[in-house]
């Protein structure tokens, strides 16, 4: 079966075989990996090795902590805002306690996941400023990354004024919108803003598929279940000077508001090397195997090349479809290499549910599954995560070309 689902995704076969062995008898200990004590030196070595491989893959400097935690990308919607607000409050010192209004957080909304992050921030009482909502630049729908000139960023004229973070999602999984290469336009931000405002990225669905400049980010997080491994572990990469604050500091939210839950405080995770409480052992183990496997296959550079080749094949078939397949992402440069989203369109030019159902069935006949679009947007979505091979992608393109020949001849 060729699984083109948006996640959880497939894993490389070599990794699955090694993981199966590790579950039965981990490195001759006579115990499976998930039976070990999470405080044992054997398991600590698993965490250390996963971290070392990830550091090598993404060139993560020592002044960044790598944390393995739980709760998924969704939990990072709140954890990112709470921790960055707390760091901001400690930077401001007594001024934070004296000022009744908490700092703002800026958001770049380019799809459903950033919209959800904003919703969660507001639920928590965070002053979330939507600097730009891409729907307002694309007829009410996601499908573009508006230029920086259209963003209404908060003032960063002084350290006190500056927002606690600027948050974006590098690849919007549902909508198929990815920041155009080479990624977030950091160099186009106003100089004082770029200097003072911590940049936070949700890379859940495209991490390790292209380079990302860790040094220019304050925080990068991703759930494992797309490009990395089984669900259950969420990876947080955070600049250490932003977590070196008192986890019980006041003024995180409005005065008198609740404190950050213990397991969401990055400092607690960092001080305890991701072992503050029982970690998702299996997911960390398999993520480590995936990192090591990628290092053997050309690292991030290799993955970047493969992602370009795979998505190029699929977008090529779309371009050759005489209007049968229409990308849902209007801005060509923002079309995701990970989640290719399109509609199947009738000869009259309208999206056609019947044709889409037939396309899904044609895929199924060749063993390709999970290509229906997200329930909120419909259409077709083919996800080409790192574990999807070029050969598997070629099968999809074969199906697409045969479908075009049938429908448009």
Return all residues near 95 (Cβ < 8 A) that are at least 6 apart.
Answer: 160
Q: Give Cα separations from 300 to 206, 226, 374 (angstroms).
A: 11, 15, 28
The closest of 330, 286, 332 to 312, measured between CA atoms, is 332
- With CB under 6 A as the contact rule, the residue among 169, 281, 287, 317 that binds ligand PLP is 169
Interface with ligand PLP in residues 210-229 (CB under 6 A)? 223
CB of 232 vs ligand PLP, minimal distance in Å: 9
Alpha-carbon dihedral 351, 354, 355, 361, rounded to 10 degrees: 140
Q: Enter the tokens of residue 28.
A: 């001759």
By the rule CB under 6 A, 392 interacts with ligand PLP: no
Could you tell me which stretch among 71-79, 129-137, 154-162, 373-381 binds ligand PLP (CB under 6 A)?
A: 71-79
113 belongs to the catalytic site: yes
- From the candidates 113, 151, 175, 352, give the one annotated as an active-site residue: 113
- With CB under 6 A as the contact rule, the residue among 204, 336, 386, 393 that binds ligand PLP is 204
- With CB under 6 A as the contact rule, the residue among 34, 49, 74, 255 that binds ligand PLP is 74
Interface with ligand PLP in residues 298-337 (CB under 6 A)? none
Q: Which residue has the tokens 């106003």?
A: 190
- With CB under 6 A as the contact rule, the residue among 3, 11, 19, 72 that binds ligand PLP is 72
CB of 137 vs ligand PLP, minimal distance in Å: 20
Q: Answer whether 334's CB lies under 8 Å from 144's CB.
A: yes
**DSSP H or E run through 177:** strand 177-178
DSSP category for residue 34: G
* Other beta carbons within 10 Å of 42: 13
Q: Which residues pair with 366 in a beta bridge?
A: none
Could you tell me which stretch among 66-74, 94-102, 269-277, 365-373 binds ligand PLP (CB under 6 A)?
A: 66-74
Is 102 or 183 the residue whose CB approaches ligand PLP more closely? 183
CA dihedral over 386, 390, 391, 393, signed as positive or negative: positive
Is 79 or 251 the residue whose CB approaches ligand PLP more closely? 79
CA dihedral over 140, 379, 308, 306, signed as positive or negative: positive
- With CB under 6 A as the contact rule, the residue among 202, 352, 356, 407 that binds ligand PLP is 202
Is 50 or 235 the residue whose CB approaches ligand PLP more closely? 235
- With CB under 6 A as the contact rule, the residue among 10, 173, 227, 393 that binds ligand PLP is 173
* Separation of alpha carbons 75 and 152, rounded Å: 26
Q: Give Cα separations from 94 to 89, 162, 251 (angstroms).
A: 8, 16, 10
- With CB under 6 A as the contact rule, the residue among 205, 321, 328, 336 that binds ligand PLP is 205
Could you tell me which stretch among 44-52, 198-206, 288-296, 397-405 binds ligand PLP (CB under 6 A)?
A: 198-206
* Other beta carbons within 10 Å of 349: 9
Q: Exposure pattern of 197-231 as b/e (b: 16+ CB <10 Å)? A: bbbbbbbbbbbbbbbbebeebbbbbbbbbbbbbbb
- From the candidates 226, 267, 310, 352, give the one annotated as an active-site residue: 226
CB of 336 vs ligand PLP, minimal distance in Å: 10
Interface with ligand PLP in residues 97-136 (CB under 6 A)? 113
* Separation of alpha carbons 251 and 109, rounded Å: 26
- From the candidates 106, 170, 175, 202, give the one annotated as an active-site residue: 202
48 belongs to the catalytic site: no
Could you tell me which stretch among 47-55, 129-137, 197-205, 305-313 binds ligand PLP (CB under 6 A)?
A: 197-205
CB of 306 vs ligand PLP, minimal distance in Å: 20
- With CB under 6 A as the contact rule, the residue among 2, 3, 4, 7 that binds ligand PLP is 7
187 belongs to the catalytic site: no
* Separation of alpha carbons 340 and 6, rounded Å: 10
Using CB atoms within 10 Å of the CB of residue 63, give its burial: 0 to 12 exposed, 13 to 18 middle, 19+ buried: exposed
Question: What is the set of active-site residues?
Answer: 113, 202, 226
Binding site for ligand PLP (CB under 6 A): 7, 72-74, 113, 169, 173, 202, 204-205, 223
């Amino acid at each position: 079966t060729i699984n083109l689902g948006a996640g959880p995704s497939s894993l490389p076969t070599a990794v699955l075989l090694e993981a199966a062995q590790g579950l039965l008898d981990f490195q001759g200990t006579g115990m499976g990996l998930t039976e070990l004590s999470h405080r044992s030196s054997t398991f600590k070595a698993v965490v250390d090795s996963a971290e070392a491989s990830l550091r090598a893959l993404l060139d993560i400097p020592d002044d960044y902590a790598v944390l393995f935690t739980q709760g998924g990308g969704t939990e990072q919607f709140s954890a990112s805002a709470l921790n960055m607000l707390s760091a901001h409050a400690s930077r401001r010192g007594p001024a934070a306690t004296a000022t009744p209004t908490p700092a703002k957080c800026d958001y770049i909304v380019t799809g459903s996941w950033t919209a959800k992050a904003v919703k969660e921030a507001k639920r928590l009482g965070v002053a979330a400023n939507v600097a730009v909502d891409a729907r307002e630049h694309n007829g009410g729908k996601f499908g573009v990354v508006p230029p920086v000139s259209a963003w209404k960023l908060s003032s960063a004229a002084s350290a006190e004024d500056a927002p606690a973070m600027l948050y974006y999602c590098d690849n919007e999984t549902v909508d198929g919108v990815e920041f155009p290469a080479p990624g977030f336009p950091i160099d186009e931000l106003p100089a004082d803003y770029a200097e003072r405002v911590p940049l936070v990225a949700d890379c859940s669905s495209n991490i390790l598929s292209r380079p990302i400049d860790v040094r220019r980010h304050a925080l990068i997080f991703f759930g494992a279940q797309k490009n990395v491994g089984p669900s259950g572990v969420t990876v947080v990469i955070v600049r250490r000077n932003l977590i070196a604050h008192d986890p019980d500091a006041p003024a995180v939210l409005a005065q008198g508001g609740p404190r950050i839950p213990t397991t969401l405080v990055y400092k607690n995770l960092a001080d305890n090397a991701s072992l503050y409480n029982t970690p998702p052992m299996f997911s960390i183990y398999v993520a480590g195997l995936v990192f090591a496997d990628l290092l053997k296959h050309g690292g991030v550079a290799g993955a970047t090349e493969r992602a370009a080749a795979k998505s190029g094949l699929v977008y090529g078939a779309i371009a050759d479809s005489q209007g049968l397949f229409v990308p849902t992402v209007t801005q060509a440069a923002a079309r995701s290499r990970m989640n290719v989203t399109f509609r199947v369109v009738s000869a009259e030019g309208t999206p056609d549910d019947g044709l889409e159902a037939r396309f899904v069935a044609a895929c199924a006949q060749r063993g390709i599954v999970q290509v229906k679009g997200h329930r909120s947007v419909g259409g077709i979505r083919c996800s080409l995560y790192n574990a999807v091979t070029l050969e598997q992608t070629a099968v999809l393109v074969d199906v697409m070309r045969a479908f075009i020949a049938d429908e448009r001849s």
